[in-house]
Structures are given as structure tokens and as C-alpha cells.
Structure 1
Amino acid sequence: MTSSSAVVAPPRLAWFLRGQLLDRAALILSWAAVATEFFILALSGEPAPGYTGVVLVAAGLVLGRTRRLAGLMVVALGAVAASLLATEFVAMWTVVVFALFSVAVRGSRAVVALLIAGIPVYLALVLREHGDFQASGALVATACCAAGVAVGSAIRAQQGYLESMRQRALDAEATAGLAIERGIAEERVRIARDLHDVVGHEVAVLGMYLGVAEVSLSEGNAATRTALESARASVRRVLHETQLILTVLRRGGDDDPTSPAPDMSQLPALVETFRTAGVEVELVASGDTGELDPTVSLAAYRIVQEALTNAQRHGRGKVKLVITRTEGQLKIVAENKNASLQRSHTGARGYGLVGMRERALSAGGRLSVDDDGTRFRVTAILTTKGGIIR
């Protein structure tokens, strides 16, 4: 039986609408606005207090790359200072808009971000307009802040939707592959059953009749007796070959069923085989993994094996494998860099992920995958006795 599976191409955002690219563009525009504001203030002979807003906004942009909301608060504070202390302030609240967009597109809570930055900017501009709550500048600035958050959130949501569609496509492809494999296994079992019940039975009956015929021959039919003996020997060989075929069909290409199942006690040997193959593996193990439920131990071994295989095929650099045994739980984390963004989004990894999830579920655990485009992390949490994790 042969089969072919086409790689499902999931939908993607146009390159100019991708959140990471737009986030970088917003950062570049923000720094351009800061530089422009600085030169405008310098050329106009602005007093020293007028530069407070520019300095705070610049500090907020730096801080915002690691701490999003904290950086946004500093940027908003800088825009407020520029509105109250400087003669030119428009560029600073445009930076607030860009910062709100970046924060939203990178996944922070949009409403909280808008409250942190939008309200201070609005109130500062109202104060600049002598308490006019309907001042056009204040209303326009607030509307632009809301628009920045809305656009960032929309792009973030669209990316999440497309990512879920991509994962669904990969899971569907992997599930189709599993269905094909199950069909092949069922077909093997059916053929083996037919061989045993029909062919094997008929061949055995044939051998019995040949024996009866041989016994019934008279003493003078030596040639016929020799032919019957040869025929019975051929029947025995057919039965032997049929038995071998049945063994192969029922085994289905898996490991020798008479050999013991692997478990976590063989983990060092498994890691060493990957190191021998050229994979740099950093193994960090804590806790005793010896006394585990056999089902859990087998599932953990197979999950580690598949995770290292994925790392070898689709990743680059050192693989960090952390195995932690705590009270009642066994945690497995395997992480390394993606070989490239393009390869990380192919369907080659889908089958292995489905297999690892099924292994984890079979042992009463759970498995999660974190892929940010640059690093790929697999985390499995199993209970040491095979119970279900809530």
C-alpha cells in the first residue's frame, strides 16, 4: 500500500503586515521623532527644562524593549512633560502612538496600555489648553492613541488566527498520516489472519492428505512414495515460510516484541547515541527517575527520543535537555534554536509532535510546544504514577 501526502500551505499575512516587521518600523519612526524633536528644540533655543520630555521618551523606548508596560509609562510621562514644559510637543505624543502600537502587537493587554498612556496624554493637553476638555488637540491625540492600540491588537489577533490555522493544518496532516499508518497496520493484521485461517489451514490439510496417500501405497510404488515424501517436505516448507510471513506482518516493522521496552534508566545511552551522531546535548537531570510507573517511564523515554530527533533534524546548535523529578511529577524540557524561520514552519515536525502528545496523554500527562520563530521548546509534564494532571 502506498500513500502520498501534500504539505498544506497555511495562509499568511503579507510581508508588510507582519507584526515583527511593523514593530521594528514603529521603533525606527519613534527614534526618528525623538531626534527630530531634539533638533527642533535645539534650533529654537529651548530652555533646559524643555528637553525633559525628549530624555524621558528616549529612556522609555530603551526600557520598552524588555519591559513593555514600564517603558510605555515612561514614554507617556515624557509626552506629558513635553506638553507642559516645551514649546514643541507634537512629535512626543506621536511616539506614544507608536509605542502603544508596539505594545499591542507584541501581545500586552491593549485596554491597560491605552489607560496607561492615553489618559495622561489627554489630560496633559487639556492642561496645556487651559482646562478645555474639548480641545481639538487633546481629542485628536487620544483618538490616535486608541487607533494605535486598535491596529496593533488587530494585527496581533490576525497573526494568532493564522498561527492557529497553520497548526491545525499541520495537525490535520499528521492525523492523516496516523490514519494511513493505522490502515496499513489493520491491513497487515487482516492479511495475517487470512493467511493463518485460510491458507495455513488448507496447506495443513493438504499435508495430512499426502500423509494418508503415502500410508495407503502398496510396497511396489517406490517412485510414487518418493514423490509423496517430496510433496510433504514441500508442504512443511510452505508452512514454515507462512509462519515467518505471519511474524513479519504482525510485527509490522516495529522493534522485536520479545525485547524489553525501553525506559528512563536507558536515558544516558540514548543521549550518548545522539552525541555520537553530532548533536550537542546538554543534559541536566535532577531527582531520581528510576522508580517510575512503567508506562510513564516508557512514555518519557519516547518523548525524549522524539524531541532530540526533532532537534537534530530541524534545529541547530546545542540542545538543552532538562529532566526534573519532583514530588509526584516528572518534567521534561527540550529546547534549541530553529534552523531557520522557514524550516520551522514546515510540516516535517507535525507527525512527531502528535506522537509526543499521544505519548504524554497515554501516561496521564500533558505536552506543550513553544515556538517563537527562533527557538523551539517542548515541555512534557507527567505524573510518576501515571495519573491525570489537572
Structure 2
Amino acid sequence: MTPLERSNVPPRSWMRGGRTLYLVTGGAISAAIIAEAIRVGSERPVPLGGALAVVLLAVGSVMSLRFPHIGLLIASCAALTAGVFGWEPLVEWSCAVFLLFAVTLRRGRPILMAVSTAIPVLIGTLSSRELGDPIATTIGVVISIGAGAGIAFGLRSQTQYRFALEQRAEDAVATREVEAQRRVAEERLRIARDLHDVVGHEVAVVSMNIGVAEVVLPEDATQAREALRNARTGIRNVLNETQRILELLRTAEDHPGSAPTPGLTLIPDLIESYRQIGLRVDADLRVDVDAEVSGSVGVTLYRVLQETLTNAHRYGRGSATVSCWSSPGRVHLEVRNAPHDDRRQSGSGLGLIGLRERISQAGGTVTIDGNSVVFVVSVELPTTDGLPT
């Protein structure tokens, strides 16, 4: 899930790039409230409208730290109160615009914030006779409020965009090595399957023909029979060497600089790699990988888990639950995650199509079920597939 999907939550980069501006705005509002309080206190008698406006400004500014919309509305009503009671609401109007800027910078929603600020400020300024021409006053209110909300939202959008780029770069760095290992391992696995299916078949045909030749040879063909026995020995050596190559391609334990083929033994490392890029994963792994699951089935489970965790990271709320267990002749994998609230934030579905195809080729079954609360992928595979491990 990218930061742009969380439009109502201030991103972490805002704390780095916008905190100074936010604090400066807060300082300006505080200074204006203090100056207004001094001006009201210097009047004799103390004007009721001015006193109430100062109180509303102070209360609204403090409340905006915890409840931005409510606090902004209260501070905006300070201008309304001042104007209705005959006090010049120029400071209250200015403070409302500054507070609108700060709240929009922090929370977004510029239209909602601007409208909730404009209505009481406009009524208060038009009620006051101290601000001159009503048309000019109205234009000034609209322009100032629109500028405050628009500039804040523009800065916020720029910050979110920059944060999204930073997050994508971090994700790319974190997953680059995993992706490179995946490509190398898939190529090794393809070569191993070709050796097993093609070379193994051809060697078996040659061995069978040698056996036929031995049967039909005359009894006195001693030299020819000895040559066939030597050929059969060579065939066995080829089979042994091929088997060792297959084992090397599938494990790479004795090959310096090459990553092992993905499997159940590497699933904890895979889960940890997603934790490092921000996905919270609760894992329950209860499978005896050495005794129960063949190498190719382990590869399939690894790829399925990789795809589901990628989807949970991109399109979920930042957490997932992984369960893996075995039953007689079968191995099971279940991944649960909470989908994002915004239904528009979803993928193309091609990853799930590829996941179904991979599981079908391995002789397994998959169930994908989701609603607004939880998205579940349940996989069941046979523990062996007949390929050498």
C-alpha cells in the first residue's frame, strides 16, 4: 500500500519536510491571539464580542491539534462572534485563514475545510461595519481562504508524491536481491527439468537398446558382449553424473556465489524480507520440510507465498497472517490480510491468474475468498510430484 492511498493520514516525510512550516504557522496564530487579547483588554469596558472571539480562537487552536475539523470550525466562529457583537474581526479572520492552512497541510480535505471556514468568517465580516465595502470584503474572504487551503493542499500533495517515490525506491532496493535470486533459481530449475525429461529419457532408450542387443547376440560373440557391458557401465556413469548435476542445480549448496533454489527452507527468510520493507507478518510454520515435501513442491509454495505477500503489501493495510501445515500426503498454505478500504486500490489480477496456473500444474488446488474485512488465499498441494529432489 503506497502513501498516496492514505490521503487522510500525514505521511512520515511530512514530519521531516513540513514540520517547520507547521510550527511557524502555529507560532503566528499564537502571537496574533496574544496581541488580540492585549488589544481587547486595553478597552474600557472590555468588549464582549472581542473577549468571546479571543476565547474561541484559543480554544479552537488548541482543539485543532487533536480534532482538526472541530477546532477549525470553533476558531472560524470567532470571526462570526466578533462581527455580530460589533468587534472588528480582522485578526479573527486572519487567524482562521492561518489555521485553515495548518489543518489542510496536516489532514488534507481542502474543500471541506475551506467551506467550513468560509461560512462563519464571511458572515462575521459582513456583519461588521468596520471593514468597509461588503463586496470587497466578500472577495477578500473568498480569495484568502481559497489561497490558504489551496497552497496547503499543494504542499501536502507534493510531499506525498515525494514520499511515494522514496518508498518505491526503498521497496526496489529491498526486493532487488530477492528478484535476482528468483530469476536465477527459475532458470536453474528449468535446466534441471530439461535434463531430467530429455536427457534422462534418451539415456533410458539407449540403455534399453543395449539390453536388446545383449539378448540377441550369438553365444560366441564374446568381444561384442564385453563392449556392450562397457557401454552399459558408461550409461550408469552418465545417469549418476546427471543426477549429481540435478542435485546441484536444485540446491546449489556446493556452488559458490549461487543462491539456493527457493523452497520451504527459505520461507522464513522470505517472510523476513517483507518485514524489512514494512509488512507486519504473523507466521505459523508447522511442516517437516526434509521428510515430507519434495523440492519442486517447496518451490511452488515459496512462489505462492511470495505473490500473496506482495499483494498484501501493495493492496492491504500493512499486515498479513501466514499458516503452513501438513496432512497425510498434502501440504497446506493459508495467507490472510485485511484489504484496503479504497476498492479502487487493487491490482490487475494477473498475479492471481499466474498463481492459479502454477498451483494447477503442481496438481494442487487454491481457494481465493475476500470481502471488505479479510482477503484469504488457501492452497493445498501434494507433498511429492515425482521429480528428483
What TM-score results when the alignment is normalised by the length of structure 1?
A: 0.54
Tell me what 1:140 maps to.
140
For the Cα contact (< 8 Å) 1:121–1:138, is it kept in 2? Answer: no
**Deviation of residue 148 (structure 1)?**
0.5
Residue correspondence of structure 1 range 1-390 to structure 2 within 5 A: 18-44=17-43, 47=46, 49=48, 50-85=50-85, 89-129=89-129, 133-134=133-134, 136=136, 139-166=139-166, 180=180, 183-196=183-196, 199-200=199-200, 203-204=203-204, 232-233=232-233, 235-246=235-246, 249=249, 252-255=261-264, 270=284, 332=337, 363-365=367-369, 380-382=374-376
Q: Distance in 1 between matches of 2:140 and 2:283?
A: 66
Once the two structures are aligned, what percentage of the paired residues are identical? 29
- Partner amino acid for 2:118? G
For the Cα contact (< 8 Å) 1:321–1:333, is it kept in 2? Answer: no
Q: Distance in 1 between matches of 2:15 and 2:379?
A: 50
Q: CA RMSD in A?
A: 5.5
For the Cα contact (< 8 Å) 1:192–1:249, is it kept in 2? Answer: yes
Corresponding residue SS for 1:253: coil
For the Cα contact (< 8 Å) 2:283–2:321, is it kept in 1? Answer: no
The alpha-carbon distance between structure 1 residues 220 and 176, as it changes in their structure 2 partners (threshold 3 A), is: closer
Give unpaired runs (5+ residues) of structure 2.
1-10, 252-260, 266-280, 287-300, 324-334, 340-349, 357-365, 381-389
Corresponding residue SS for 2:264: coil
Aligned length: 292
Q: Distance in 2 between matches of 1:192 and 1:123?
A: 79
For the Cα contact (< 8 Å) 1:122–1:139, is it kept in 2? Answer: no
Q: Distance in 1 between matches of 2:182 and 2:123?
A: 66
Corresponding residue SS for 1:129: coil
The alpha-carbon distance between structure 1 residues 322 and 137, as it changes in their structure 2 partners (threshold 3 A), is: farther
**Deviation of residue 167 (structure 1)?**
5.6
The alpha-carbon distance between structure 1 residues 60 and 355, as it changes in their structure 2 partners (threshold 3 A), is: farther
For the Cα contact (< 8 Å) 2:73–2:117, is it kept in 1? Answer: yes
Q: Distance in 2 between matches of 1:187 and 1:13?
A: 40
The alpha-carbon distance between structure 1 residues 382 and 270, as it changes in their structure 2 partners (threshold 3 A), is: closer
Q: Distance in 1 between matches of 2:171 and 2:367?
A: 21
C-alpha distance after superposition, 1:99-128 (max 9, x if no partner): 111232233432232222223222222221
- Partner amino acid for 2:80? V
Give unpaired runs (5+ residues) of structure 1.
1-11, 257-266, 273-297, 324-329, 335-353, 369-378
For the Cα contact (< 8 Å) 2:14–2:159, is it kept in 1? Answer: no
Q: Distance in 2 between matches of 1:306 and 1:109?
A: 32
Q: Distance in 1 between matches of 2:283 and 2:158?
A: 45
For the Cα contact (< 8 Å) 1:114–1:149, is it kept in 2? Answer: yes
The alpha-carbon distance between structure 1 residues 242 and 383, as it changes in their structure 2 partners (threshold 3 A), is: closer
Q: Distance in 1 between matches of 2:236 and 2:29?
A: 86
- Partner amino acid for 1:255? L
For the Cα contact (< 8 Å) 1:46–1:86, is it kept in 2? Answer: no
The alpha-carbon distance between structure 1 residues 86 and 35, as it changes in their structure 2 partners (threshold 3 A), is: farther
- Partner amino acid for 1:79? A
Tell me what 1:276 maps to.
none
Q: Distance in 1 between matches of 2:13 and 2:282?
A: 46
The alpha-carbon distance between structure 1 residues 306 and 139, as it changes in their structure 2 partners (threshold 3 A), is: closer
For the Cα contact (< 8 Å) 1:64–1:71, is it kept in 2? Answer: yes
Q: Distance in 2 between matches of 1:302 and 1:69?
A: 42
C-alpha distance after superposition, 1:339-362 (max 9, x if no partner): xxxxxxxxxxxxxxx999x989x7
Corresponding residue SS for 1:270: strand
C-alpha distance after superposition, 1:197-251 (max 9, x if no partner): 5544565566568776898897998xx95x9867744642441342354356468
Q: Distance in 1 between matches of 2:367 and 2:93?
A: 55
Q: Name which of structure 1's ranges 90-99 and 164-173 shifts more when overlaid on structure 2.
A: 164-173
The alpha-carbon distance between structure 1 residues 71 and 320, as it changes in their structure 2 partners (threshold 3 A), is: farther
